[in-house]
Amino acid sequence: MKHKLITRFKEFSELVYWKRKKSKEGRLTNTHYEFFYTDYFELDHDFYTGKIIGDIGCGPRGSLEWADMTSHRVGIDPLADKYLKMGGREHKMEYVKANSENIPFKDNYFDLISAFNSLNHVNDSAKACKEIRRVLKPGGILLLIVDIVPYPTPTEPLVLKWDFLQQYFPNFEIIIEKRIKRISGSRIYTNLRKNIAAGPNDKKGVLAGMLKKVQEQS
């Protein structure tokens, strides 16, 4: 019962956040995502041609709207049905309602999975990462952006540390790892664009990584 109440409160807080954003912006934009799927991780658009890609904790903005060249693009989020009502029906990507701890796709389905500012929001990070490993093809790419903070919040109940990539994806090849200083508050993408490296004593920041699944994961 306690776990369910915590989950409901977290989801309620998420919806309040996005409703405020929509009220302020009028229409939730998504043009900033393309840069972080391509230039930021040194990938070009041709890389995505014909690929199956999934975005974990996609939110309502239409994070994969830019990816017309893919064969299947799907956002996975426990609030997907609510996000459809906030403008998601207008998006060309598919929305699937599901928790990251139980991704409703077969083993080795995706060529690329992204999790941008979402793995702090899950109930069980170990289980969520195990599911990501399961549904990603061998040789597939994982793009991660996670907020590193020393304290939990209602929408980000998990406290993740700088060694997140090594801890949860030990058998993956780390192609890119960036530890970025948090100088613009909680504005993750602004911090990434400023690209100021975090120091050894920084307790908070933004961790960005591109990893490759090099073998079958258990």
In a domain, 104, yes or no: yes
Distances (CA, A) of 18 to 60, 62, 157: 8, 13, 17
Please report the pLDDT score of residue 1 as a whole number: 55
In a domain, 136, yes or no: yes
Collapsed DSSP state (helix, strand, coil) of residue 172? strand
Per the DSSP assignment, residues forming a β-bridge with 96 are: 76
pTM above 0.85, yes or no: yes
**Are the C-beta atoms of 54 and 135 separated by less than 8 Å?**
yes
Collapsed DSSP state (helix, strand, coil) of residue 182? coil
**Are the C-beta atoms of 21 and 28 separated by less than 8 Å?**
yes
Please report the pLDDT score of residue 186 as a whole number: 77
In a domain, 218, yes or no: no
Count of structural domains within the chain: 1
The one-letter amino acid code at 172 reads F
Instruction: Name the token pair of 112.
Output: 């690329």
Please report the pLDDT score of residue 55 as a whole number: 98
Residue 217 has pLDDT above 60, yes or no: no
Residue 174: CB atoms within 10 A of its CB come to: 13
User: Quick one: which of 202, 201, 171, 195 has its CA closest to 39?
Assistant: 195
Output phi, psi for 3, to 5 deg. -60, -40
Reported confidence tier of residue 18, pLDDT bands at 50, 70, 90: confident
Per the DSSP assignment, residues forming a β-bridge with 205 are: 148, 181
In a domain, 118, yes or no: yes
Q: In which domain, by residue range, is 37 found?
A: 2-213
Residue 218 has pLDDT above 90, yes or no: no
Domain with residue 138: its CATH number is 3.40.50.150
In a domain, 194, yes or no: yes
User: Quick one: which of 33, 23, 2 has its CA closest to 145?
Assistant: 33
Minimum mean pLDDT among 27-41, 115-129, 169-183: which range?
115-129
What is the per-residue pLDDT across 32-67, written as a single tens digit (0 to 9) for each?
999 999 999 999 999 999 999 999 999 999 999 999
In a domain, 68, yes or no: yes
In a domain, 21, yes or no: yes
Please report the pLDDT score of residue 3 as a whole number: 61
In a domain, 61, yes or no: yes
Rounded to an integer, what distance in angstroms lies between the CA atom of residue 44 and that of residue 41? 9
